[in-house]
Each structure stands twice: as C-alpha cells, then as structure tokens.
Amino acid sequence: MGVVPAPSGPASQSGPAGPGCAHWMRVARETADDLATDAVARELAGKAPFDEVSRLREAGLLTLLVPAGLGGGGADWPTAYDVVREIAAADGAIGQLLGCHYFLSWCARFFTEASRAAHVERQSATERWCWGGGFAGQEPPLTLTRKGNGLVLDGRQSYFTGVLVADRLAVRAVRADTGEPLAVVVDPAHHGVGIADDSDTFGQRLAGGGSVEFDAVPVAADDVLASLPVDEDELSPLAALMSPVGRLFSVHLCLGMAEGVLAEAREYSRAGHSAWPAGVPQDPHVLTMYGELTLLTRSAAALSDQARAAVHGGLARGEDLTYDDSAEISVLVAMAEAAASRAAQESTARALDVIGARSVSSRLGFDRFWRNARTHTLYEPVTHRLQNVGDYFLNGAHPPFVLPV
C-alpha cells in the first residue's frame, strides 16, 4: 500500500494564505489552556456550551477554514485537524463540537458549485456562525415536501452535534416525491424548528447534542446546497474524499482525548499522588503501564500523520485524483480510526488504574476522559473499518462511501 504524497504547500482548497499554522496552533493551545482551567466544573454542570463556543469564536477558531479572501483564517485541513486534537486534549466534547463545525461549514465545496460554496462561507465568516447537525443517513429521514412554489421540511432526529448552540444547521433531508437526498441549511431560529436538550448521554455532554424537530419549516431554493451522494458509484474520486475528510476529525478527537488523559495523569503522578507503595517514579508496574499507553498513543499518532498527509495530498491533486487513490486514502483513514479509537479507550480506562482509587473522585474529573472517549467510540465504531481494511488488503476492494455520524 502506497501513500498519496502530500503537497509541498497548502492545498489549493484552503484559499489565500492566512496567518499560518504556527499562529493557529498558538491560538489553539491558549484556548485549550483556558478550557482546561474549568473543564471539570463545566463537565459536572453539563450546561449547553454557549460560553465555550464564545471562547472559540473570540479566538477566531470558528472561521479557521474559511479562505482569507472570504474573511476567514485561510488555514488548511492539516491545521484544522491539529487544532481539534489540541482542543480535545483539554475537553473532548468541545473538540467534537469544533470538528463537526469544521466539517459541516466546509463540505459544501464537495457537492455544490464554487460560487455557491463561497457565498455560504462568506456569510459564515462575516457572522461567525457555529454550525451543527449532520449528513449521515438516519431512519426515519427528514422529508422535504413541495408546497406552493417552495419546499417544507418535516421530521425529527436525535443527537445532532452542536444543535443546542448552532447558528446554522446543516442536515440531510429526502425529497418526498423523488427520494433524492439533499443537503439543507436551516436557521434554528426559524419558526417551526424545535430543539430539545434531551440527548442524556453519560459522556460528551458538552458537545451540544440534542434532538431537533422540524414542523413545516419553509426551505428556500438558496437553503438547498445540493444533492447528497448515496454511494461511491455516483461520486468523482475527489468528491469521495468527503468521507475520509470528515472521519479524520474523529481520529484527531480520539488522539486528543488519549493524549489529554495521559498528560493529566502524568502531572498527577509527578506531584506525588501515588496509590503505589514504592512511589510512582520507581514503581515497575506504573512505569510499564505508562510505557504501554505511550506506545499505543504514539503509534496511533504515526498512522494519523500518514492519513492526514494522504488526505491533504488528495485534496491538492483535485480532479487528477483517481478512484484507486481515493480508495487508498479511505483505507489509511480507516486504519488511523481503528488505532486512535483503541488508543483513546485504552488510555482513558487504564489511566484510572495508574492513579488508583483516587481516580474515582469527581473533584479530580479523571472519569470524564473515559466517559467522553467511550461515548464517542460507541457512536463511531470501527469494526466495519477493520473489515474494509482487510478486504482492501486481501481483495483490493474499495471501501464503501460512509459519512461520519
């Protein structure tokens, strides 16, 4: 298996250059440090993350991927992935919310004309919108029905990331008359849109998830971005990258959570809070666990780097990308997903063993890492990804087109 090479500079899709990766990583670290100061208290309170979104907005992170010429940060996808990873290390739920926002606010470029996508992005940057919702197929689907000269949106769906705090919702809806799936943008303040804070998950409680009910919500022509692809056979190789681009956010979210819990556990251990008689710095059992978890996380990070370079390279190649290239990129992302998911689950669970009985203290909040990681990995299971990797390795089969949940 080869690797689609990364370009020497930013992918053309990122638009005119903005401040640069070093600037945005500094901003991300400062924002993550700010979120970390009250992460435990905020997670225990479980309030809708309006304050957290304000912090992201004030830092300029919501407009990171919008081209500088349209009023945004002008950053590329590798930078966005690193930003999500940094934020997730401090607060996994906010990392998920930010990754979902990036995917939804940008992916119109995959399936609509450039002028339409630019119009949406310019509006998003000007008003610093936070996006919520999702395009993954769910049952029963939202429906669009013709009424007069327009369309109306009806239906109810649960656990859309970011819906509690979103300025715009991007959702998948099906035309009642033709069965065509469409990407639709909805203002949540519109009459007929009802949002409920009823996700009631034991983790990722600050991801802004909840249910949304649409009751005869008018949908104008400009609110329909484009038709959504159903399977890979209907896509160009470049459009097929929409799947691995979105799924790679899950990879960096898991990596961030794994790295975050290990960093906090290390600081706790170094401070001398040890449940082990010999003391943490010398105890062979503790050192071995730290070694195993570091190896697991670093290995997942290395796979993530390969996948990220391949995605970046694929986007840069544009229409020159082949179906074989797109399939290989998807497989690399699937491998990174499986490794990062395992790293997150192992690290967040076994870090509690390293700390010992003190880890049950709600005041310390170490459990939030495990609850966040386990909740996310249940919504994004990797069993099918491993099957896809095996089928590609053994039979050369291209992975199916699957949008992230």
Q: What is the pLDDT of residues 279-332, one digit of tens each?
A: 556 788 888 999 999 999 999 999 999 999 999 999 999 999 999 999 999 999
Tens-digit pLDDT profile for residues 333-360: 999 999 999 999 999 999 999 888 888 8
Joined together, the tokens standing for residue 3 give 């690797």
The predicted model gives 376-399 an average pLDDT of 94
Q: Where are the domains of the chain?
A: 12-130, 133-227, 232-395
pLDDT of residue 313: 96
Domain covering 133-227 assigned CATH 1.10.540.10 in the classification: no
Position 278 pLDDT exceeds 60: no
Which pTM does this prediction carry? 0.92
C-alpha dist (Å) from residue 193 to 56, 147, 217, 375, 393: 25, 17, 7, 27, 46
| Burial bucket for residue 294 (CB in 10 Å: 0-12, 13-18, 19+) | middle
Helix axes 50-58, 92-106, angle to 10 degrees: 60
CATH topology of domain 232-395: Butyryl-CoA Dehydrogenase, subunit A; domain 3 (1.20.140)
Confidence (pLDDT) at 1: 53
Residue 271 has pLDDT above 70, yes or no: yes
Task: Please check whether the two domains, 12-130 and 232-395, share a CATH topology.
Answer: no
pLDDT of residue 14 exceeding 50, the answer is no
Q: At the top level of CATH, which class does the domain 12-130 belong to?
A: mainly alpha
The yes-or-no verdict on residue 11 having pLDDT over 50 is no
> CA-to-CA distance for 268 and 272, rounded, in angstroms?
7
Mean pLDDT calculated for residue range 211-226: 93
Least confident among 34-48, 198-212, 274-288, 383-397 = 274-288
CA distances from 254 to 112, 127, 333, 337 (A): 30, 30, 13, 8
In degrees and rounded to multiples of 5, residue 80 shows phi and psi of -60, -40
pLDDT band at 233 (very low <50, low <70, confident <90, very high): low
